[in-house]
């Protein structure tokens, strides 16, 4: 949806920029009046204005103002004026403006800002595996969270989730579990997922853990893992297979009772789980179904494994993916703060 121009002279609009809402969504869209917006790092800053009728925002550049660092807190947005912020944001910084008239914004201490995702790589079985990585600003080292892809691979959704992790103060890194297919593979997600095997997935995640333990921005003693769809299944598997993880977050992981290739299924390794687990499920999901969730709950209880499960009425599979038809905003808004609180409890920040 295109941004709506405020009623100002046409010459005042020099350039438009992407803005991020409070959940790091980079798609211009309607933003609730109570939400916050953040200017994308690295762009010249002028001011953010909005149309009172539609609550759509656009960024307007200044007219050759100074390039001094941004002052905090920023000005507030009102119906008739915008907070003017001269200067340029460097890599890994950001600014939050209030979308609520007359309400001051949060200061930097209440939120971390992340660099745009960058790519690194490690070698696994003699082959290169790419890693999508987002790093919070500020001094480190900090805890890290491995973000496990869904069936679509390390796509825009997974890149966004590494940013959301980093915005909460953790290094977020997503390994490309499809790397064995080669860079020119054009097969669809289901075909590529069907080629995965638990033994090689474990190798890939272990290589990612080793990478994080060597990284200067990371406190290698405080590692967590989160995954979506097939990634949730991998989370359950790695909670048993990798003792470095101190917290595991499973978003609607399906097929946990079935192995990929030879060896036991993740479900059969429940007794080996060594870290607390939290799971989020859609009540309308067929895989994992509510019955699957109850079976997992019973097995975890049987083995005395610390866990919390949440089910969302009306939510289906993939309810966290804003680019998908099954996105469920209420489940997103409720579950993600719970996931971050879980990481903070077990990993610190």
What number of other Cβ atoms are within 10 A of residue 293's Cβ?
21
Query: Which pLDDT band holds residue 117 (cuts at 50, 70, 90)?
Result: confident
What Rg value do the Cα atoms of the chain yield, rounded? Answer: 21
Position 140 scores a pLDDT of 84
Coil/strand/helix, residue 74: coil
pTM: 0.71
**pLDDT above 70: residue 11:** no
What mean pLDDT is predicted for residues 193-220? 98
Could you write out the DSSP letters of every residue in 122-160?
EEETTEEEEEEEE-BSSSS-EEEEEEE-BTTBS-HHHHH
Nearest one of 10, 75, 11, 9 to 48, comparing CA atoms: 75
Dihedrals φ, ψ of 287, to 5°? -155, 90
Query: Which pLDDT band holds residue 116 (cuts at 50, 70, 90)?
Result: low
More confident residue, 31 or 147: 147
Position 273 scores a pLDDT of 99
What mean pLDDT is predicted for residues 93-112? 33
**pLDDT above 60: residue 95:** no
Position 349 scores a pLDDT of 85
d(CA 227, CA 147): 6
| Dihedral-angle region of residue 168 (phi above 0 means left; psi in -120 to 50 means alpha; beta otherwise) | alpha
pLDDT in tens, 123-174: 998 999 999 999 998 888 999 999 999 999 999 999 999 999 999 999 999 9
Which residues make beta-bridge pairs with 148?
A: 227
Nearest one of 66, 55, 56, 59 to 41, comparing CA atoms: 59
d(CA 253, CA 247): 16
**pLDDT above 70: residue 109:** no
Position 288 scores a pLDDT of 99
Query: Which pLDDT band holds residue 112 (cuts at 50, 70, 90)?
Result: low
How is the beta sheet containing 118-124 ordered, strand by strand? 118-124, 127-134, 171-175, 142-148, 218-228, 245-251, 277-282, 307-312
**pLDDT above 70: residue 194:** yes
Whether cis (ω within 30° of 0) applies to the bond prior to 141 is yes
pLDDT in tens, 244-290: 999 999 999 999 999 999 999 999 999 999 999 999 999 999 999 99
Domains of the chain: 1-111 (no CATH), 118-347 (3.40.50.1820)
Position 113 scores a pLDDT of 53
* Token pair in block for residue 184: 């020119």
- Contact present, 161 and 340 (Cβ < 8 Å): no
**pLDDT above 70: residue 65:** no
Mean of all residue pLDDT scores within the chain: 76
Q: Considering the chain, what percentage of its residues have pLDDT values greater than 90?
A: 64
Coil/strand/helix, residue 208: helix
d(CA 24, CA 337): 14
d(CA 243, CA 254): 22
| C-beta pairs of 284-289 under 8 Å, 24+ apart in sequence | 284/313, 284/314, 284/315, 284/316, 285/252, 285/254, 285/315, 285/316, 285/317, 286/317, 287/254, 287/255, 287/317, 288/252, 288/253, 288/254, 288/256
What mean pLDDT is predicted for residues 231-255? 99
What number of other Cβ atoms are within 10 A of residue 159's Cβ?
20
91-100, 148-157, 272-281, 336-345: least confidently modelled range: 91-100
Helix axes 198-214, 230-241, angle to 10 degrees: 70
More confident residue, 50 or 116: 116
**pLDDT above 50: residue 54:** no
More confident residue, 119 or 109: 119
* Token pair in block for residue 310: 């949440």
**pLDDT above 50: residue 38:** no
What mean pLDDT is predicted for residues 60-78? 29
Position 71 scores a pLDDT of 25
**pLDDT above 70: residue 13:** no
**Cα angle 17, 98, 60; round to 5:** 25
**pLDDT above 80: residue 5:** no
């Amino acid at each position: 949806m295109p941004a709506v121009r405020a009623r100002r002279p046409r010459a005042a609009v020099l350039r438009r920029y992407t803005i991020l809402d409070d959940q790091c969504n980079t798609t211009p869209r309607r933003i609730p009046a109570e939400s916050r917006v953040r200017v994308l790092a690295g762009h010249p800053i002028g001011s953010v204005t909005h149309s009172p009728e539609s609550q759509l925002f656009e960024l307007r550049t200044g007219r050759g103002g100074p390039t001094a660092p941004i002052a905090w807190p920023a000005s507030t947005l009102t119906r008739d004026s915008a907070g003017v912020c001269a200067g340029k944001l460097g890599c890994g910084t950001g600014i939050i403006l209030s979308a609520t008239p007359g309400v001051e914004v949060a200061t930097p201490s209440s939120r971390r800002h992340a660099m745009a995702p960058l790519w690194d790589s490690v070698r696994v079985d003699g082959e290169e595996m790419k890693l999508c990585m987002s790093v919070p600003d500020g001094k480190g080292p900090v805890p890290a969270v491995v973000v496990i892809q869904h069936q679509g691979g390390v796509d825009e959704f997974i890149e966004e989730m590494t940013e959301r992790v980093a915005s909460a103060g953790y290094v977020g890194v997503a390994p490309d579990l499809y790397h064995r297919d080669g860079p020119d593979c054009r097969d669809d997600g289901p075909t590529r997922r069907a080629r995965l095997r638990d033994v090689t997935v474990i190798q890939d995640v272990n290589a990612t853990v080793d990478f994080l333990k060597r990284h200067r921005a990371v406190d290698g003693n405080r590692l967590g893992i989160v995954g979506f769809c097939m990634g949730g299944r991998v989370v359950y598997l790695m909670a048993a297979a990798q003792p470095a993880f101190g917290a595991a977050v499973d978003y609607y992981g399906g097929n946990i009772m079935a192995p990929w290739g030879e060896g036991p299924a993740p479900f059969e390794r429940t007794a080996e789980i060594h870290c607390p687990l939290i799971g989020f499920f859609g009540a309308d999901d067929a895989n994992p179904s509510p019955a699957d969730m109850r079976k997992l709950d019973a097995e975890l209880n049987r083995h005395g494994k610390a866990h919390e499960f949440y089910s969302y009425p009306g939510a289906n599979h993939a309810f966290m993916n804003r680019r998908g038809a099954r996105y469920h905003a209420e489940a997103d808004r409720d579950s993600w703060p719970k996931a971050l609180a879980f990481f903070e409890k077990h990993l610190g920040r």
